[in-house]
Amino acid sequence: MTTKTTLSVSPPGVNRSVWIAAVLATGALLLVASLAGCADASKPKPVAALQSSGALSEKAKQEQQQAILKVRNQTLRQIYKLKPTAQTEVEQAAGYGVFEINGLNAVLAETHGRGVVFDRRGKATYMQLARTDVQPGTTVLPYRQVLVFRDPKKLNGFVASGSPADASSDPSIKVYRLNEKGVSVQADWGARYFRDPDLN
């Protein structure tokens, strides 16, 4: 049995061929809209919908913390060996921080290093740093940095909200620089520091 499909009769006073063209055009538009809806449904949800801004899994978080603590232990051993008086300064300080500065082109990255700060109770705060004293095209060679905090209030403010401005002018913070040439007191070490949003 053959089924015929016929278009509805055109309204009175309307040319039949014009009516057929209008019906076909409407059908085409409905088909396009339907396909577009399917395409939208197949698109992946935006990252924001996951309510995460690059948050780490608990395992990845612990692995990164352990990597930073390993650098901290290595750095302290090296600096104590090269400059024994630094050990007394660290042990008697309100707190201290150890940072590893990456070897990279400073213009191509907003974050130049990361590390950890400890207070007298042994509480760790993981932080990042950005150099403020680099010029366009400058290459930042890798090195490590030990910050010794003499003032407990400055330390508390540092770990609570970081250092939004260049911290090198603060006389209450002594900074050692450790690289392949040895250890030295860093007189001009322009950088700002901020809490790591994923590791704390």
| pLDDT tens digits, one per residue of 123-155 | 999 999 988 877 666 677 889 999 999 999 999
Please tell me the predicted confidence (pLDDT) of residue 52: 36
Tell me the CA end-to-end span of the chain in Å, nearest whole number. 74
Compute the distance between CA of residue 167 and CA of residue 190 in angstroms, rounded to an integer: 6
**Which of 48-52, 71-75, 109-113 is most confident?**
71-75
Q: Where are the domains of the chain?
A: 1-43, 54-195
**How many Cα neighbours within 13 Å face the side chain of 104?**
13
Please tell me the predicted confidence (pLDDT) of residue 93: 97
Confidence class for position 61, pLDDT limits 50, 70, 90 = very high
The average pLDDT across 2-27 equals 49
Compute the distance between CA of residue 122 and CA of residue 100 in angstroms, rounded to an integer: 20
Residue 161: its H or E element: helix 152-161
pTM above 0.85, yes or no: no
Please tell me the predicted confidence (pLDDT) of residue 12: 54
CB atoms within 10 A of CB 144: 22
Strand ordering across the sheet containing 173-179? 182-185, 173-179, 143-149, 95-101, 113-119, 124-131, 191-195
CA dihedral over 91, 97, 103, 106, signed as positive or negative = negative
Poorest-pLDDT segment among 40-54, 59-73, 157-171, 173-187: 40-54
